[in-house]
């Protein structure tokens, strides 16, 4: 078996047996990056020597019989929105092009404690605002299954890195579907945990009440490993939940008896691609064959999720990004006439079009005379969306839905249609608004050979249930074993 084609669990087992070393594993992935990232553009920074140095240190400690952390020499790619001490964190924006954080995000600290090898920083939509990873200052990432298609966003670089076998694991962030949607488009596993399960300390904020850090992997066990490594209480994040972290990687193989799956009519409406719908129905058949009970549920406020999200998220972005003014943080224009002109020129040059669009939307929604009509009303509907889920989960264990209405779209397809791009997240937004955990797992392919993702959602803090339910499906199918031709490499 090739190194780059193996799962995280398989690599750990081989390293533990002494068949391969962390340096072998890291070098194999770095070689794939060298060979193919010129086409995919999943990474914005890779430091080969630093990665190999980290790997050799893990090998030394393993050889000395020292205790190693959960990830014990596994390479992990990091979305370029998480602060990494001494390494640029740009959010793929000109505004932060030269920013080098003086500290690590809490999730990065935990990864280092787990003995992960941080292999590089991945491409993303600027400040995580987008659904295609086209809105990056460093250029678009391409889908490894079809280089003419988008990998999804905003964590498209992380999803593409795992799909193209450039890293066995990757970290992303999910504000409205930015892990699950690219995971679906790229045919990998991607998970958004409960809001507060992973500390947001050191995560550059887009929308603070929605942002969450989560894992990408090429199977559910790998996602469980990475989630376990990054989870835990951090007093520096006031929204972080102080509750014990289950051993996700140990319980993921346990099937769920008497599983009750909810299916909402609101998730099967006009605009859903027939091939996506067929894949979801086939997945329901798999679950029924395993003894799961399928129940119809209602999520009556689901149709309002897009509208609510695109009031709340831009409003929070408008507030969070106000600090980037050329004085406190970020890019400063070289030519200006006065202080106000400096602010305007610096922000105009530093931010891309999509970020500007969302800042303007948010500023308008928060402005005097419109706050009650837009932002406050959106908060009230957000509460109704959460209540819909609470009511549904009183009778079921998980909710099953598509990840996105279509498979991956072509790069540039939505250049003149921002609303069409926003609708790519129509099935994922609700989990963020309600603070729920959700996971995307591979569930088929379109006739054009593009992956189709299946989404599962669970009640708050039920990541363990969600992972076990996802693994039940994965165990009975082979979709997660498929690799794009681009990544069909031997090591």
Which residues are part of the catalytic machinery?
79, 154, 178
Residue 405 contacts residue 424 (beta carbons within 8 Å)? yes
Cα separation, 442 vs 425, whole angstroms: 17
| CA–CA dist 37, 487 (Å, integer) | 11
Q: What whole-number distance in Å separates Cα of residue 6 and Cα of residue 51?
A: 19
Closest C-alpha among 472, 477, 429, 8 to residue 218: 8
Q: How many CA atoms lie within 13 A of 234 on its CB side?
A: 20
Contact in structure between 201 and 213 (CB atoms under 8 Å):
no
Among candidate residues 44, 254, 266, the one with its CA nearest the CA of residue 138 = 44
Could you list the beta-strand ranges (E) of 371-479: 398-402, 438-445, 451-457
Query: What would the two tokens of residue 62 be?
Result: 């393993």
Q: Quick one: which of 21, 82, 46, 50 has its CA closest to 230?
A: 82
- Provide the β-strand partners of residue 216: 170, 190
DSSP state of 185: H
CB-CB contact of 334 with 312 (8 Å): no
450, with CB counted inside 10 A (0-12, 13-18, 19+), is buried
Phi, psi (degrees; rounded to nearest 5) at 132: -145, -10
Q: Rounded to whole angstroms, how far apart are CA atoms 46 and 34?
A: 10
- Pairing type for strands 451-457 and 75-79 reads unpaired
Backbone Cα Rg of the chain: 21
């Amino acid at each position: 078996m090739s190194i780059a084609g193996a799962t995280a669990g398989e690599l750990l087992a081989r390293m533990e047996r002494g068949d391969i070393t962390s340096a072998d594993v890291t070098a194999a992935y770095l070689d794939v990056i060298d060979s193919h990232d010129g086409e995919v553009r999943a990474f914005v920074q890779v430091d080969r020597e630093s990665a190999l140095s980290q790997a050799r240190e893990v090998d030394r400690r393993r050889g000395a019989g020292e205790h190693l952390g959960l990830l014990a020499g596994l390479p992990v790619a990091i979305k370029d929105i998480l602060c990494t001490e001494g390494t640029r964190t740009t959010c793929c924006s000109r505004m932060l092009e030269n920013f080098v954080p003086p500290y690590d995000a809490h999730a990065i600290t935990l990864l280092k404690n787990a003995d992960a090898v941080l292999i590089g920083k991945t491409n993303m939509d600027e400040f995580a605002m987008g659904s295609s990873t086209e809105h990056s200052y460093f250029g678009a990432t391409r889908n490894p299954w079809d280089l003419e298609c988008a990998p999804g966003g905003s964590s498209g670089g992380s999803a593409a890195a795992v799909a193209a076998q450039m890293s066995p694991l990757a970290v992303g962030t999910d504000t409205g579907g930015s892990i699950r949607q690219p995971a679906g488009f790229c045919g990998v596993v991607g998970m958004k945990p409960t809001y507060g399960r992973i500390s947001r300390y050191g995560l550059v904020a887009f929308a603070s009440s929605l942002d969450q850090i989560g894992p990408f992997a090429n199977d559910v066990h790998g996602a469980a490993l990475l989630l376990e490594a990054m989870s835990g209480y951090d007093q520096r994040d006031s929204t972080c939940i102080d509750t014990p972290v289950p051993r996700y990687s140990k319980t993921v193989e346990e099937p769920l008896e008497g599983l009750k799956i909810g299916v909402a009519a609101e998730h099967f409406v006009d605009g859903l691609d027939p091939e996506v719908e067929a894949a979801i129905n086939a997945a329901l058949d798999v679950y029924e064959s395993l003894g799961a009970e399928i129940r119809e549920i209602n999520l009556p406020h689901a149709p309002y999720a897009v509208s609510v999200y695109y009031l709340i998220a831009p409003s929070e972005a408008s507030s969070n990004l106000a600090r980037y003014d050329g004085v406190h943080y970020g890019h400063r224009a070289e030519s200006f006439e006065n202080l106000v002109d400096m602010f305007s020129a610096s922000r105009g040059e530093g931010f891309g079009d999509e970020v500007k669009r969302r800042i303007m939307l948010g500023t308008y929604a928060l402005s005097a005379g419109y706050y009650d009509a837009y932002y406050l009303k959106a908060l009230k509907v957000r509460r109704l969306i959460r209540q819909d889920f609470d009511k549904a989960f009183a009778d079921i264990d998980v909710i099953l839905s598509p990840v996105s209405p279509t498979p991956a779209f072509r790069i540039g397809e939505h250049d003149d249609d921002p609303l069409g791009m926003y609708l790519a997240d129509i099935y994922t937004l609700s989990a963020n608004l309600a603070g729920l955990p959700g996971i995307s797992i591979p569930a088929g392919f379109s006739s054009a050979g593009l992956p189709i993702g299946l989404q599962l959602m669970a009640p708050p803090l039920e990541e363990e249930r969600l992972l076990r339910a996802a693994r039940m499906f994965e165990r009975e199918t082979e979709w997660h074993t498929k690799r794009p031709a681009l990544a069909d490499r031997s090591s």
